[in-house]
């Protein structure tokens, strides 16, 4: 234990190594999945609306009319 944490303070390089060995494989795996499947295949669906939650879906014309402002 004294080799890993001399005087009770962890070695910064060991901490960096521990963080790197955890983060680098996960980031590498995510990049590999995107390269293998492609961005278009992974994100080919539109954003879900309120109908997913069981609420009444609003029509596009209702949303557009409530967001427009008239200038006089």
Domain coverage including residue 39: 10-43
Handedness of CA 10, 11, 17, 20 (dihedral sign): positive
d(CA 34, CA 47): 19
CA nearest neighbour of 68 among 48, 58, 60 = 60
d(CA 3, CA 36): 42
Would the pLDDT of 61 be above 60? no
Report pTM: 0.44
Spatial contact of 56 and 50, defined as CB atoms under 8 Å apart: yes
Residue 37 lies in a domain: yes
pLDDT tens per residue, range 11-36: 788 888 888 888 888 999 999 999 99
> What is the number of domains present in the chain?
1
What does DSSP assign to residue 8? Answer: G
Residue 63 lies in a domain: no
Residue 26 lies in a domain: yes
Residue 18 lies in a domain: yes
């Amino acid at each position: 234990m004294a080799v890993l944490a001399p005087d009770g303070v962890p070695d910064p390089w060991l901490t960096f190594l521990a963080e790197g060995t955890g983060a680098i494989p996960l980031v590498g795996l995510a990049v590999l999945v995107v390269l293998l499947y492609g961005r278009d295949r992974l994100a080919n669906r539109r954003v879900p609306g309120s109908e997913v939650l069981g609420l009444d879906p609003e029509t596009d014309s209702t949303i557009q009319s409530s967001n427009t402002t008239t200038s006089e």
